[in-house]
Structure 1
Amino acid sequence: MKLYKLTTLLCLCLSSPSWALSNDTEQPIYINSEKQELDIQKNIVTFTGSVVLRQGSIDIRADRIVVTRPNGQEGKETIDAYGNPATFHQLMDNGKPIDGAAKKMRYETDTEYLRMTDDAVLVQEGSEIQGKMISYKIDEQKLVAESGEKKRVTTILQPNQLNKSKK
């Protein structure tokens, strides 16, 4: 399965010239959970109970991760991570981390689209984006953050990043 695309995409949710460690997606994927259920007819694998997905420097933690392969088509997997919140962590090539959290993360491998919903947060070098929903289209490098009712999207930029961008 192409779970590596999920982990790659999770790191690309903030605009930066250097993202995850270059070789993360070349590493094997390890998924540990308290329970795993496979529905062969529906092409669905469900991992539950303190799920940890690791690939290189990538670390995703969730209460439940569901991997679906519609009609058994490789490369068209949908990966859903659920938690209170589900979290991810990854190192960039420059050694600095990127972290995210949301109650639900959904990645569609064939369209390279990530959607984080319900209290979504992305943090990189102290700068932060918060919203009800954060989506990222990896191939187009487009990020959208949306607010919920009676809330607004919040972005916090740290001065050290602003100063670096002026150079």
Structure 2
Amino acid sequence: MNLFKISTLLCLCISASSWALSNDTEQPIYIDSDKQDLDMQNNTVTFTGNVILRQGSIDIRADKVVVTRPGGKSGQEVIDAYGKPATFHQVMDDGKPIDGEALEMRYETSIEFLKMTNEALLIQDGSEIRGKVITYKIDEQKLAAQSGDKKRVTTILQPNQLNSNKK
């Protein structure tokens, strides 16, 4: 099967209503990589080598991305990204970017849930959260961070965010 057919099949497999905030979820998903392998029996596509996934303002970069459609059901895709680190970037509705990185990321499209594991970092408006695991429920805008072995969650808040919350 040539790359065009594989890319077309992948586009049909990925739900456009899943990735994040506002109109990003209405945009097509583009994935570029050095190599891609399709396993039709297991409903899995694996992309390796300088992988770039884009949907609207969302940009994920990784060494490897695996897209799985459990049970072949549309809108149930699970996207796993691996890198040293894998990175995530999105522009929010207010125009401010949010950036994340971790050695592993998992995005469950049906529940709009992002989980960053191992050396996780989330940066927004100059403030940072670091931990072993950072989870983000995108549609509810709820974030949780957990520490690792003998480490603690670290949060750095910039003064401009603290002052803007007082208004």
TM-score where L is the length of structure 2? 0.86
Counterpart CA distance in 1 for 2:155 and 2:102 is: 16
The Cα shift of 1:38 comes to: 0.4
Report the equivalent of 1:96: 96
The Cα shift of 1:4 comes to: 5.6
Report the equivalent of 1:17: none
Report the equivalent of 2:45: 45
Report the equivalent of 1:2: 15
Gaps of 5+ in 2: 1-13
Higher helix share: 2
Report the equivalent of 1:113: 113
Amino acid at match of 2:18: K
Q: Report SS of the residue matched to 2:162.
A: helix
| Deviations 1:78-105 (CA, angstroms, capped at 9, x unpaired) | 1101000000112223322111100000
- Cα 1:27–1:111 shift into 2, 3 Å: closer
Counterpart CA distance in 2 for 1:161 and 1:77 is: 35
- 1 or 2 for the larger relative contact order (CA 8 Å, sep ≥6)? 1
The Cα shift of 1:76 comes to: 1.4
Report the equivalent of 2:57: 57
Identity %: 70
RMSD: 1.5
Gaps of 5+ in 1: 9-19
TM-score where L is the length of structure 1? 0.86
Q: Contact 2:18–2:110 at 8 Å: present in 1 too? A: no
Report the number of matched residues: 154
